[in-house]
A and B are shown apart, each in its own frame.
Chain A
């Protein structure tokens, strides 16, 4: 392997790699990050063994990639050049895939995705899940081997960096980011270029560039997928950022709960150093940058920028008041720029394709694309990337395929514990920073959790308060005490002790915390409560006044009952009930003894007749 010392070197190495790869007639891409939870490693091992055993290693390439996006269907395997998409692949399927598809050229129908309307779909690109997406930032995920820098280089990797370092001044770089219109992908949506400009012009020789990969929002895994599936795109963006602000040292702060992301970033940094793309005299220029990785240690508040910096300094991560802003006084007291990892991957896109190309995508106030983790009660769960301004309906119904189990859409939660719940009446709303804020939610990092009628909106609000209560660092009183009080009121409501005036008190506390809290954690903590009171007031009223939870979530406020017209007496519920609360004769309708029922939900989840009802 050779150190790359110039733009010409980079182009030459790309040509060489391409020539070496000409020999392969087939390329099998298999997800080995997200799909590991579905035992994709076994599939991968079986695949390598079979290829070897049949002496196909010279013609068939195996690519262990990052996330393909359609996680619901994992493990996913795609065969190129035909673009055949196989899902839920098991190790036992491999010999058949090799003989039938690779050697025989025949498609195995049972491994294809089934469109509920039109039947099996052969090609990945024809799946509605992918067809409606715009995969720019996550375009390499699922395509390249994230542990092999050559794969990234072949796909135009580091070309943007090369252009920046050889043809642009740092001022020009900042101008380009400003004109692209990129807003920070971490949640707040602050214009990235403005932040860079402030830091670039701040006095001082020592500056830092920091990537936030501490994806703490529950229900969000876009950053994980990006770090695992295309680590170099983040690193390339960081190097460009470091050049723009004049930093020679940078840090990636990544959650400890993401071991694969840490592993892939570590490999990527080492490979970039070996190729002369990190370290001293990058690409033969005067510019140098070293990057290190810090593992988060399980504190949600460390996703907040000042807390994150304190954590890198080796202290307990509590935020501090701003100003001074980190762009003036950040890590170790030096001017620092901190962006989300997805923002850095966007930077790479901007310099690869140009600011004009970038700002043509999206809406007036929100440029580019956004990656979401589409999860919850939607049929097609996974990682999706869409143009800013795409409607919620398109994301949830066209890409997501609608709601599971023929149930109805109730709400979508965006922005994690800082966000809000958006009801059906806003389903045609374009998804961008400003529309979401207007609707009482926020873009956040990109979690999009879909809910149906079995989700209780009061419980969802209580869930987020509980989460934040636990994660609040306790430094400032409004957050520490406000959350405690709100959580107490909310728990009372959910457990049947709600009183008149609770909603008003909750709203007042939420608004107070917004104004008085030290950081975003407390400052946005009221959003889930305010947005659910705004759109789902009737559910609060049912909990407080009627003591009813129609979704069947709040245990004190509902009971299970067996519909005798639907029950066929299969006895499954009676056998599985841990409390022996179900009784009845075989092939005759059963009954539940409400006194003994602990509402564990086992019978409800097992009944194939859907005879168990929430009353």
Chain B
């Protein structure tokens, strides 16, 4: 881990305790998760109780303490998506990747997450892979969507 980058984040937020959530969001942006050593480092540098940082890291859904896969799949489970059959899309993705939500495939290619609402309800049901939106998804389309990323072996 590059601690210099973390120092820059801490300086940007002036080591203020009230900024801890923003600091952790920025730090997570570096590696898409927060390693334990980084939590310890922040705690020491900010003179902030380790338990408080751990509390925040586990309370807010955005934070991950384990590495994520190369491609993060977000299945929107908002009300409009639920009515449109997002559960079935989720089931199909789980079957295809052989993982449960919150997990990462063994080859570290995909992480599967569900989100409460992406705010694109008019296009429901929506699945997001990285920054790409897929609208009006049906279970029969899932395989085709995943195929766009399967061959991608960079990273």
Contacts and interface: CB of A to CB of B under 8 A. Distances in A.
A578 B139 CA distance: 10
Nearest to B23: A314
Contacts of B88: 600-601
Contacts of A370: none
B123 A37 contact: yes
Nearest to A331: B18
Nearest to B114: A470
B3 interface: no
Given A297-B60, A576-B140, A600-B91, A605 B85 contact: yes
A231 interface: no
A34 B118 CA distance: 11
B120 A219 contact: no
Interface in B89-129: 91-92, 95, 115-124, 126
A606 B62 contact: no
Interface stretch (A19-27, A186-194, A372-380): A372-380
A586 B149 CA distance: 34
A393 interface: no
B117 to A, nearest CB: 4
B91 to A, nearest CB: 6
A466 to B, nearest CB: 9
Interface in B1-56: 16-22, 24-25, 52, 55-56
Contacts of A605: 85, 138-140
B121 A602 contact: no
Nearest to B13: A314
A90 B113 CA distance: 30
Contacts of B22: 294-295
A602 B139 contact: yes
Contacts of B123: 37-38, 71-72, 74, 381
A578 B95 CA distance: 10
B71 interface: no
A455 B25 CA distance: 38
B18 A376 contact: no
A576 B63 CA distance: 37
Interface in A348-391: 373, 375-377, 381-383
A257 B117 contact: yes
A383 B133 CA distance: 19
Contact of A38 (B55, B77, B80, B135): B135
Contacts of B117: 216-221, 257
Interface string A381-421: 11100000000000000000000000000000100100000
A312 interface: yes
Contact of A218 (B19, B55, B77): B77
Given A601-B85, A605-B85, A606-B140, A257 B118 contact: yes
Q: Which A-B residue pairs are the 10 nearest by beta carbons?
A: A219-B79, A298-B61, A71-B122, A218-B78, A297-B60, A316-B59, A37-B133, A221-B119, A381-B122, A298-B62
Interface of A: 34, 36-38, 71-72, 74, 215-221, 224, 255-258, 294-295, 297-300, 311-317, 332, 373, 375-377, 381-383, 413, 416, 447, 449, 451, 455, 460, 463-464, 467, 471, 473, 576, 578, 600-602, 605-606
Given A295-B22, A460-B83, A467-B77, 19 more contacts: A37-B126, A37-B135, A38-B123, A38-B133, A72-B123, A219-B117, A221-B119, A255-B119, A294-B22, A297-B61, A299-B59, A300-B116, A314-B17, A315-B56, A317-B59, A332-B18, A375-B121, A381-B80, A602-B139
